[in-house]
A = this chain, B = another copy of it.
Amino acid sequence: MIQVKHLSHSFGRYWALKNISFSLDKGDFLFLTGPSGAGKTTLMRVLHGSLAVQRGVASIAGFDLKNLPEKRLYLLRREVAIVFQDFKILPDQSVWDNVALPLQVRGMVSSQVHKRVRAVLRSLRLDSKSRYLCREISGGEQQRVAVARAVVINPKVLLADEPTGNLDRKLSLQLMEVFRQFHVHGTTVVLATHNEELIRSLPGAKILCLKDGSAVECSWGPEGEGA
């Protein structure tokens, strides 16, 4: 589902990713971890097609990222959903509208949209906030809106960049359970996090540790590395 080989990425002279390789099958779960500035977000953005592949090879959900024309990028994004570290939700639209957006963009009929959005909002404990504008809700609520918008499309691949940074322990574990459900039902999940407890909560997952852009041994981890 995801193949990355010898991937490197630089911003100007600064190399944010250096020679990263790994591969994931359908339904795999990968934790991406490492200190601040290690390159986790950069890797996510490459996988989502927001940053071009500069060196090496990467493919996701059957799309070759190196040779994907801009015009067809939206097809990739209908299969690969992402939770941004900075949410990237529309502050002046309601929670409901934000979550419904990816479905409407696909031309789904509104009764279907209704059903899906409702289910997702409930699973993330956002039902009571669905009419609020996104700038009116708390940081943790916004973060869950970002997650809801990603999972509502039932993606083949789910990329989640630090999705629990603003959540308390209980909500984090609930959210983890949501991701686990997708994983169990065949979605490939890549989750970038600093939260070691989260990583430990899913012993079967692969782990990729980054440091200064390179893949490294995970210093603390009891589990094995991603290959």
Interface: A204 (CB within 8 A): no
A86 interface residue per 8 A CB criterion:
yes
10 contacts between A and B (CB under 8 A): A35-B170, A35-B171, A36-B139, A36-B140, A36-B144, A37-B137, A37-B141, A139-B162, A168-B194, A169-B196
Contacts of A166 in B (CB 8 A): 36, 85, 162, 165, 194
Q: Closest CB-CB distance, A85 to chain B, in whole Å? A: 4
Bound-state CA distance A227–B166 (Å) is 26
* Docked-complex contact A136 and B36, CB < 8 angstroms: no
| A111 in contact (CB, < 8 A) | no
Instruction: Report the Cα distance A77→B1, complex, angstroms.
Output: 51
Which residues of the other chain, B, contact A198 by a CB distance below 8 angstroms?
A: none
Please, what's the 1-or-0 string for A23-37, where 1 marks a CB less than 8 Å from any CB in chain B?
000000000011111
Taking A139-B162, A165-B165 as contacts, is the C-beta distance between A36 and B171 under 8 angstroms? yes
Question: Count of A residues near B, CB < 8 Å?
Answer: 28
The answer to whether A167 touches B36 (Cβ under 8 A) is: yes
A112 located at the interface, meaning its Cβ lies under 8 Å from any Cβ of chain B in the complex? no
Q: Are A141 and B171 in contact (CB under 8 A)?
A: no
Docked-complex contact A36 and B194, CB < 8 angstroms: no
Assess whether B136 is in contact with A168, with CB atoms less than 8 Å apart: no
Residues in B whose Cβ lies below 8 Å from that of A165:
139, 162, 165-166
Q: Which of B36, B137, B141, B144 contacts A138 (CB 8 A)?
A: B36
Most buried by B among A34, A36, A41, A141: A36
Does A74 belong to the interface (CB within 8 Å)? Answer: no
Question: Complex formed: what's the CA distance from A161 to B166 in Å?
Answer: 10
Considering only residues 144-166 of chain A, those with a C-beta below 8 Å from chain B are: 144, 161-162, 165-166
A41-B138, A140-B194 given; 13 more Cβ-contact pairs under 8 Å: A33-B168, A34-B168, A35-B140, A36-B138, A36-B141, A37-B137, A37-B140, A40-B138, A41-B139, A162-B166, A165-B166, A166-B194, A169-B196
